[in-house]
């Protein structure tokens, strides 16, 4: 990722513990790229989401896509850390469904002319498929005319005249949006991916609007401060953040160290006693993991951690092993079960009976031994 764990503390300080965005790395990436331009950091903070200002020929590139991915990655990281209750996945799922419809209609913000450009090219190519009933009739149009008609619809324009005609003829019975992706030109796919990332980034910027405004104001203010003033302000912010976190800790009075409930407050003491949550059960099979309360302990025998431990020992996790938490006890019981299963097995050499001509009965092993010696 763009921001690894080694610089997490620095990032928290630059963000003033969630008050501001830290866009310095993204700013440097922007001003040193072909699609970027030189500007002050404060100006960049106020305009980085205005992607429509960048020319289309500079946007439809891999470096620009990577730059957008870096912005999206950072904004998502910031939101996860500062607003953990925001359901980003749900927001993106809804946005993606809206995007598909807008893209087909050429209505994606910043990419609207995609649709109008295609309409004008379609008019110039003037290939109305209603007038053609076979592929052979389309072949007569020639390679250049077919290429124009295909590229106007975002389809691949290469191949022989026959292949081009066959590709164009697919649209007679299949709508463009339902056509297999393999028939589309790669450049169009890249533009679509970039447009979707832009929409996601702008949606997150709408959620973080107040933070962005605050970041821009802070960046502008810093331009007028001396180094000593900036250091003093930073120290003040750190002290303020520490005091806020201390206040939050002091607000929750929990002298008995009771577990927290769903509302973020300690559960009632009577409930704690009722479920025996002060009682600790350790399971050696689970790697000496502790379970608090009888209910959690009994339930854990069917959970993944205990099942994994039993698999590692090569023992099936059956009801026979309920309440057994010691590895030694579990292996001893498994050996006894296997031995018992072995005794109950059908052993033909000892239990299969044979009778000689005199009516004497022998087991299979004895009978075959006597027969080999010629005694029977």
Task: Report how far apart the first and last C-alpha atoms of the chain are (Å, whole number).
Answer: 84
Domain assignment present for residue 135? The answer is yes
Looking at the fold, whether 329 and 352 belong to one and the same domain comes out as no
Looking at the fold, whether 317 and 195 belong to one and the same domain comes out as no
**Residue 18: pLDDT band with limits 50, 70, 90:** confident
Looking at the fold, whether 101 and 215 belong to one and the same domain comes out as yes
Looking at the fold, whether 166 and 209 belong to one and the same domain comes out as no
Looking at the fold, whether 45 and 15 belong to one and the same domain comes out as yes
Average pLDDT, the chain: 80
Instruction: Specify the number of domains making up the chain.
Output: 4
Q: Which residues of 57-84 are buried (b: 16+ CB within 10 A; e: fewer)?
A: eebeeeebbebbbbbbebbbebbeeeee
Looking at the fold, whether 85 and 228 belong to one and the same domain comes out as yes
Q: Is the pLDDT of residue 359 over 50?
A: yes
Domain assignment present for residue 295? The answer is yes
Looking at the fold, whether 17 and 48 belong to one and the same domain comes out as yes
Range among 12-26, 118-132, 278-292 rated most confident: 278-292
Looking at the fold, whether 333 and 362 belong to one and the same domain comes out as no
Looking at the fold, whether 362 and 232 belong to one and the same domain comes out as no
Domain assignment present for residue 245? The answer is no
Q: Copy the structure tokens of residue 317.
A: 């996790």
Domain assignment present for residue 303? The answer is yes
What is d(CA 206, CA 121) in angstroms, rounded to the nearest whole number?
Answer: 35
Looking at the fold, whether 137 and 158 belong to one and the same domain comes out as yes
pTM comes to 0.48
Predicted confidence at residue 116, as pLDDT, reads 43
**φ, ψ of residue 326 in degrees (nearest 5):** -90, 135
Looking at the fold, whether 175 and 276 belong to one and the same domain comes out as no
**Tens digit of each residue's pLDDT (9 = 90 or more) over 252-266:** 777 777 888 777 788
At 280, is the secondary structure helix, strand, or coil?
Answer: strand
Q: Is the pLDDT of residue 14 over 90?
A: no
Query: What is the domain range of residue 140?
Result: 117-185
CA 191, 198, 95, 109: dihedral to nearest 10 degrees? Answer: -80
What's the whole-number mean pLDDT along residues 26-42?
A: 92
The residue among 185, 218, 245 that closes a domain is 185
Range among 57-61, 192-196, 350-354 rated most confident: 192-196
Portion of the chain with pLDDT greater than 90, in percent: 26
Lowest mean pLDDT among 39-43, 210-214, 360-364: 360-364
**φ, ψ of residue 240 in degrees (nearest 5):** -65, -40
**Strand 361-363 versus strand 353-355 pairing type:** antiparallel
What is d(CA 310, CA 289) in angstroms, rounded to the nearest whole number?
Answer: 14
Domain assignment present for residue 65? The answer is yes
Portion of the chain with pLDDT greater than 70, in percent: 81
More confident residue, 59 or 116: 59
At 282, is the secondary structure helix, strand, or coil?
Answer: strand
Domain assignment present for residue 289? The answer is yes
Domain assignment present for residue 263? The answer is no
Looking at the fold, whether 9 and 95 belong to one and the same domain comes out as yes
Domain assignment present for residue 310? The answer is yes
What is d(CA 110, CA 114) in angstroms, rounded to the nearest whole number?
Answer: 9
Predicted confidence at residue 186, as pLDDT, reads 60
């Amino acid at each position: 990722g763009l921001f690894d764990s080694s610089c997490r503390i620095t990032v928290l300080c630059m963000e003033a513990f969630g008050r501001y965005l830290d866009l310095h790395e993204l700013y440097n990436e922007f001003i040193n790229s072909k699609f970027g331009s030189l500007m002050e950091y404060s100006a960049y903070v106020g305009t980085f989401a205005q992607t429509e200002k960048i020319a289309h020929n500079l946007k439809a590139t891999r470096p620009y896509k990577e730059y957008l991915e870096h912005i999206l990655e950072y904004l998502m990281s910031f939101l996860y850390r500062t607003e953990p209750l925001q359901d980003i996945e749900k927001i993106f799922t809804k946005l993606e469904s809206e995007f598909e419809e807008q893209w087909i209609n050429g209505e994606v913000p910043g990419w609207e002319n995609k649709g109008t450009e295609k309409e004008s090219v379609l008019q110039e190519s003037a290939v109305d498929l209603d007038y053609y009933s076979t592929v052979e009739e389309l072949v007569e149009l020639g390679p250049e005319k077919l290429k124009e008609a295909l590229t106007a619809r975002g389809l691949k324009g290469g191949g022989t005249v026959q292949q081009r005609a066959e590709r164009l003829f697919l649209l007679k019975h299949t709508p463009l949006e339902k056509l297999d992706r393999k028939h589309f030109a790669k450049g169009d796919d890249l533009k679509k991916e970039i447009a979707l990332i832009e929409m996601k980034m702008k949606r997150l910027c709408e959620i973080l609007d107040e933070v962005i405004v605050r970041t821009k104001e802070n960046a502008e203010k810093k331009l007028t401060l001396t180094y000593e003033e900036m250091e003093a302000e930073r120290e003040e912010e750190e002290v303020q953040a520490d005091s806020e976190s201390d206040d939050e800790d002091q607000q929750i009075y929990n002298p008995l160290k009771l577990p927290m409930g769903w509302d973020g407050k300690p559960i009632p003491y009577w409930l704690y006693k009722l479920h025996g949550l002060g009682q600790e059960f350790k399971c050696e099979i689970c790697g000496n993991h502790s379970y608090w309360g009888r209910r959690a302990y009994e339930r854990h025998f069917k959970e993944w951690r205990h099942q994994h431990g039993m698999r590692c020992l090569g023992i099936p996790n059956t009801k026979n092993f309920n309440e057994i938490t010691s590895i030694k006890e579990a292996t001893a019981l498994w050996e006894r079960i296997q031995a018992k299963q072995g005794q109950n097995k059908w052993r033909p050499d000892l239990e299969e009976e044979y009778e000689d001509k005199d009516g004497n009965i022998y087991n299979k092993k004895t009978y075959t031994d006597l027969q080999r010696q010629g005694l029977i």
